[in-house]
Structure 1
Amino acid sequence: MTTAKSLAKSVGLGCDHLGLELKNALKTHLESQGLSVTDIGVDSENPVDYPDIGAELARRLAGGEFERGILVCGTGAGMAIAANKVPGVRAVCVMDPYTAERAIASNNAQVITFGAQIIGTSVARMLTDIYLSNEFQGGRSAPKVAKLEALDR
């Protein structure tokens, strides 16, 4: 499988215990492309609460520690909800190529989430590449994203 050229240079990566295997596979994939990866955990299959990891990654992203983030839990939904609670952060649960592209192109989402119990490693790698090789297009989407930003205030 060929990989797309990433527009981002730094990525934060986190998971709960259900997403450990997929997170580790994505970390290897991203590092093989020369990206700077900040792994905020977890590193074991001991149960953890996904809101703790999702919020931590979102806070660090909002603080400028890395450009984009990827979170993995069982469904991806919980991590997206947690990350979206941090002002200034937009997270989208991604399961298909079109959503992976539009998450950043239309919604300027800085974080994508995956459900390890829903998608496999090869699909997650492909969706990651699509997401990271696109950027916010502005245009008709800019006023909508501005409204989302106003909701944070």
Structure 2
Amino acid sequence: MAALAVAAGSAISPAYRIQLLTSRRTTTCFAMMTQRSSFSSVTLHTAAKRSQVACSAKRDTIDKVCGIVKKQLAVDVDTPVKGETKFADLGADSLDTVEIVMGLEEAFGITVDETSAQEIRTVEDAATLIDKLVMDKED
């Protein structure tokens, strides 16, 4: 599955860069430069894998994390839990967050280091980290 990221250029030289992440190993970039004296152009190049994550977590990962969070925190069935939902907004304290991380480790067969676990605040944070750890585990 490909992900798409769009970034605007500077005010001096307007440009738009569209980044299509096609696999774990390559990134395809389309750069559109707009200048008054010339027509718009499109260039295509393949870049090496970057260490920065440019896309959000997969939908199925987010859905699975939402289910685990709801179960761990005994959240009411009618309470909406989405990617942007903060654990604290669901009444979770630091111990609850540790238990959530343990449940995620078990469900996804991964190990989350302490530093990364402390940075998890939302369902999206957890799902993005999980996708990264699963991808790293496969490499």
Which of the five TM-score ranges fits, normalised by the shorter chain? under 0.3
* TM-score, with structure 1 as normaliser: 0.26
Higher relative contact order (CA 8 A, sep 6+): 1
Higher strand share: 2
* TM-score, with structure 2 as normaliser: 0.27
Task: Kindly name which structure, 1 or 2, has the bigger radius of gyration based on alpha carbons.
Answer: 2
